[in-house]
Amino acid sequence: MILSLDLVTKYRSGFLDFCTKGLKVAQFINSKKYEGVQYYLKANGTKSFYVRYKDENNQLKRVKIGDEADGTTEVYCKNKRIEILNAQNKGEQPPKIVKNHRKKILTLDDVANKYFSSKDNSTSTHERLSKYNKHLTESLGKYSITNIKKSDLESLQITTVEKKKLSKKTANMLIELFSTIFNYGVNQELFEAINPASKVARYKINNTRERFLRKTEIDELYQHVVTIDSEKDHGDLLETFTKLALTTGARLKGILNIRKRDIDLQGEIIRITDFKNGGEVYSAYITDTTRELLTKKMKLLKYNDFVVSFADDGKQISDRQLQTRLKPVLDDLFNEGLKIDDRANRIVIHSLRHTFASQLALANVPIRQIQILLNHSDILQTMKYAKLQDDANKKAAQGVF
């Protein structure tokens, strides 16, 4: 078959165009850090990594190591090239690169599973795992953990606050949880990398809670939780928790940990475990508000039963179980129209502890006594309530003169 000159020119031109395009697709870029490491940018903008070396016949070879999306890095390529050269110097065959590499790829989910498996089977661990499954695994769980960047974590922050409409505190907590899991992987020598969370700026949060319940609001809350308990048919769960919280000032976990054995009706003492201070046990006191309620419970519960439980079954409930039942009550009564991050004015479960201390201060109880009742390790933590005593003193003076 004889082709015309025009056809030959046409095919030749087409072939050259094809070759030129092929060269543009595979335009290799040398690493600035490591000799013999190259990459080219794929159509989706990610890198595909190769190493170059001379074989035993002094022929230049280029071998693909892997893709950026699979977790391949320049450091990994450098190490693989060293393995190849060492094997060649010993007269051995180069190692099977790609298969060996794929076995080493770790996703965030892989490391998270190892991390949570290493923790004790506590309520706190279950809550952190729940948060991980709800927020982190869906967005970053399938990523190679060494391929997660600062920008990925910043996107997580934005999604949490702007799209999911959750608080900035929650966004900060998720970054800290990621950082903890990442550091666990490094400490266990599962991989080597710099923690990208260390470069992520956290949201600034005003932790000051100024709002507390006045006595009329406390009475309103008591009446409301009794009604909710009756409607939900779960015993006096919310009434018991709310009254203990407002008359002892104990933290959420401390109240949920009170057992029958911690109640001394004769001495009118309640032993509280302060988990924030390393599990230290301190004394709170039975008051007129809780005396009748606790006396009734002592007759129903066994020695090791928990005081705050569903229908007095004696089983401990989790923080989350309590929060999902009490938070809507507080929101309906006190938080209508307030933004979720308005910490100064929102009433939350911790506000009950704040109310306890504030009412003591308004009654001119000495700051040192308030410190003991709150089990604050440093009186500086308690000094913020002194301003309420100033207000009470001012009103007293103005009332006389």
Express each pLDDT in 151-173 by its tens digit: 999 999 999 999 988 888 889 99
Backbone angles phi, psi at 124, to 5 degrees: -60, -45
pLDDT at 370: 95
Q: CA nearest 109: which of 142, 138, 65?
A: 142
Q: Where do you find CATH 3.30.160 in the chain?
A: 27-102
Q: How many residues does the chain have?
A: 401
pLDDT at 189: 87
Give CA–CA dist 36/360, Å, rounded. 72
- CATH class, range 27-102: alpha beta
Pairing of strands 29-30, 263-264: unpaired
Structure tokens at 119: 């923790």
Structure tokens at 49: 């990594």
Contact assessment for residue 49 and residue 39, using Cβ atoms and an 8 Å cutoff:
yes
Q: Where do you find CATH 1.10.443.10 in the chain?
A: 215-400
pLDDT at 114: 93
Give CA–CA dist 146/105, Å, rounded. 9
pLDDT at 18: 47
Pairing of strands 37-41, 29-30: antiparallel
What distances in angstroms separate CA 47 from CA 21, 38, 394, one per listed residue?
Answer: 18, 10, 70
pLDDT at 102: 46
DSSP E strands in 222-370: the ranges are: 263-264, 269-274, 280-285
Backbone angles phi, psi at 367, to 5 degrees: -55, -35
Q: Where are the alpha helices (DSSP H) in 206-248?
A: 215-232, 237-248
pLDDT at 6: 58
Question: Which fold does the domain 108-199 belong to in CATH?
Answer: DNA polymerase; domain 1 (1.10.150)
Name the CA dihedral angle for 10, 13, 19, 22, rounded to a multiple of 10 degrees: -80
Instruction: Give the amino acid at 311.
Output: A
> Tens digit of pLDDT for each residue in 259-294?
999 999 999 999 999 988 878 999 999 999 999 999
- Which residues of the chain, if any, have pLDDT below 50? 1, 8, 16, 18-25, 98-103
pLDDT at 98: 46
CATH number of 215-400, picked from 1.10.3720.10, 1.10.443.10, 2.40.40.20, 3.40.50.720: 1.10.443.10
Give CA–CA dist 226/234, Å, rounded. 11
